[in-house]
Structure 1
Amino acid sequence: MTCAGEAQSAPRCPSTVTAGEQRAMLLTDDGVSVEARYEPSPRVGTEPSDHLALVVGHGFSGALERPALRRVALAFHQRTAVITFSFRGHGRSGGRSTVGDREVLDLAAAVRWARRLGHRRVATVGFSMGGSVVIRQAALYRKAEEPAGSPDGAAPDAVVAVSSPARWYYRGTAPMRRLHWAITRPTGRLVSRYGLRTRIDPRGWAVDPLSPVAAAPLIAPTPLLIVHGDRDPYFPLDHPRMLASAADPAASELWIEPGYGHAETAASPDLLTRIADWAAAHA
């Protein structure tokens, strides 16, 4: 077994943890090591090719072993195989966070790993920052542009964006104003590093990356599900509605969830089950 984008010098890639479960340090196209974990389908005795793999991208300040992401992974694993990983600058992954820009390379490496593990169907599921990443990654890595039957392609077969922003630089809520302080100020980055265990690239963006709302119409015909809570304290409902309006209506759905807050921390078991079932039906 090899890791996506594996360099010959990469020594830790991958190792078996338990029967079927694997951990890996994936190497991205720009040379960043990304910590990842694979949990195979609970259906014993079947091949990976028979099952969907859900590749999960966490929100800002999340990580592979954080309780909220583990809870998501356990819920999804009741249905199918799951890959979780820490974005750059988070957890034991290398590099520094670019807050949604170069994280598409981290996600691409994880999708390629799912393909190399034998999964013919791969869906990406992202929360908050991870939601913006799965939208952008699907737009930048399109199946139509990959060779037919590519064994290690990075294009997903379905995309689920949960609690995603639609546009950059949003400061309309108190949590987002605090987040921008953490990202843009030296003191904020210090607090983020030691308080949130998240290392942020101090250089910022030289050029604004493709925004989620600009990326949404580029995803079709790949199915896209946009999920958002009507009590999200970070991004109000104009964000998911902007994404849904920009996406191809023939290939997208919008779920506005009553009472739901923000991202993986607030996601109920029922919502996670419905997301996994939607991905299985559409990937």
Structure 2
Amino acid sequence: MIWWWVFVTIFLIVSIAIYSISVFGYRNITMRKKLTTDECFQAVERRGLFTRTKFEKLHKQEIVIRNNDDLKLHSYYIEANPHSKKVMILLHGYTRAYPMSMQFTDLYIKQGFNLLAIDHRAHGESEGKYTSYGYYEKYDIDSWVNWIREQIGPNTLIGLHGISLGGGTALEYLHINQHAKFVIADCPYSDLAELIRYQIKYLYKAPTFIFYHTIGFLVKIFARFNLADVRPIQAVAKSELPILFIHGNRDRFIPTYMSKKLYEAKQKGLKRLWIAEGAGHSDAYRRNREQYEEQVVSFLQEVLLMNDNSAKVV
């Protein structure tokens, strides 16, 4: 009889441990504490990428819209080229906010673009509780695209530049895209379920077969989406939109091979892949700024040649 109670006790302890760790994992994936706007400005300043002073000097307009879920979404529209009909939507990474996207301001302004730097749902000054890695966010992007078309004009050349979460979301948007003309995806994930399995195994050194399904169950119950339903690689495989994939060769958070898989999956339309030497996660621009800009400008040259309503990149 005593062995029975020992077994039950061990079973309960193990079950509680698995559940507790899975709750931590689920919250880490969908509800991790976000950096504030001020903290993001401090981060880009520490890395020498942008300053709040430069931001304050920009000609800009704070924009708030409501999405299909009735959440308030926040952004800044930066109109540095008043007569331009080219707009780049900048999409930041997980737990960040719009200031992290501002590192690309000079790059795109020089190429004649205006900018829409957004806060994803549940980030920065936008409303929301959960992050879904593009499952719901792609509809938020569509709301921003529609805002641009309404305010700037239906013939506006719209591009998406996303990092990490932003890159994956930009690619997920291709499932429903009608008006964006190109995507630049920096360190995106190809398949969310595969990414979570990878992180459980290699980053947290835990048994995947136990924790993946428990975490996935909690995500489904509370955040209301399936990890397996977020597969940017499916959208990429069907899309003819020009895409530039960028990834650091030392990225351990979202492995480099995911961008390689995305590149290989794309069968139609213009595609480019650049692997940034020595760069970790979300670090390609800081580590290789000159090469990064060369890759982006070269890609834009090709894209703009395909669009009659846009002037050549300078």
* Distance in 2 (alpha carbons) for counterparts of 1:217 and 1:209: 15
Q: Which amino acid aligns with 1:248?
A: Q
Matched, 1:163 2:181: no
SS in 2 for 1:53: strand
Matched, 1:21 2:21: no
* Distance in 2 (alpha carbons) for counterparts of 1:166 and 1:94: 26
Structure 1 ranges of 4+ moved more than 4 A: 17-20, 173-178
Number of residue pairs matched by the alignment: 231
Matched, 1:114 2:153: no
Matched, 1:87 2:120: yes
Q: Which amino acid aligns with 2:116?
A: I
Counterpart for residue 60 of structure 1: 94
* Distance in 2 (alpha carbons) for counterparts of 1:262 and 1:235: 7
Q: Which amino acid aligns with 1:232?
A: D
Matched, 1:252 2:276: no
Distance 1:38 1:274, change over 3 A: farther
User: Which string of whole-angstrom CA distances, capped at 9 and with x for unpartnered residues, describes residues 187-221 of structure 1?
Assistant: xx9xxxxxxxxxxx94342574340111111221x
Matched, 1:73 2:112: no
Shift of 1:19: 7.9
Shift of 1:20: 4.5
Contact 1:173–1:234 (Cα < 8 Å) also in 2: yes
Distance 1:163 1:274, change over 3 A: same
* Distance in 2 (alpha carbons) for counterparts of 1:234 and 1:74: 28
Q: TM-score, normalised by structure 1?
A: 0.71
Distance 1:208 1:57, change over 3 A: same
Distance 1:130 1:176, change over 3 A: farther
User: Which string of whole-angstrom CA distances, capped at 9 and with x for unpartnered residues, describes residues 94-152 of structure 1?
Assistant: 1122233111122112222222332611110111111111111023223xxxxxxxxxx
Contact 1:123–1:159 (Cα < 8 Å) also in 2: yes
Q: Which ranges in structure 2 are unaligned for 5 or more consecutive residues?
A: 1-55, 305-314
User: Which string of whole-angstrom CA distances, capped at 9 and with x for unpartnered residues, describes residues 1-28 of structure 1?
Assistant: xxxxxxxxxxxxxxxx988521111221
Matched, 1:236 2:275: no
* Distance in 2 (alpha carbons) for counterparts of 1:93 and 1:111: 17
Q: Which amino acid aligns with 2:300?
A: A
Contact 1:158–1:279 (Cα < 8 Å) also in 2: no
Matched, 1:215 2:215: no
Contact 1:36–1:110 (Cα < 8 Å) also in 2: no
Distance 1:98 1:176, change over 3 A: farther
Counterpart for residue 177 of structure 2: 141
Q: Which amino acid aligns with 2:164?
A: S
Shift of 1:88: 0.4
Residues 161-170 or 93-102, more deviating: 93-102
Say which structure is richer in helix: 2
Shift of 1:81: 1.0
Q: Whose RCO is larger (CA < 8 A, sep 6+)?
A: 1
What's the C-alpha RMSD, in Å, of the aligned pairs?
Answer: 3.1
Distance 1:102 1:26, change over 3 A: same
SS in 1 for 2:169: helix
* Distance in 1 (alpha carbons) for counterparts of 2:235 and 2:168: 9
Q: Which amino acid aligns with 1:252?
A: K
Contact 1:75–1:272 (Cα < 8 Å) also in 2: no
Q: Percent identity?
A: 19
Matched, 1:172 2:198: yes
Q: TM-score, normalised by structure 2?
A: 0.64
Distance 1:215 1:106, change over 3 A: same
* Distance in 1 (alpha carbons) for counterparts of 2:203 and 2:140: 24
Shift of 1:276: 4.5
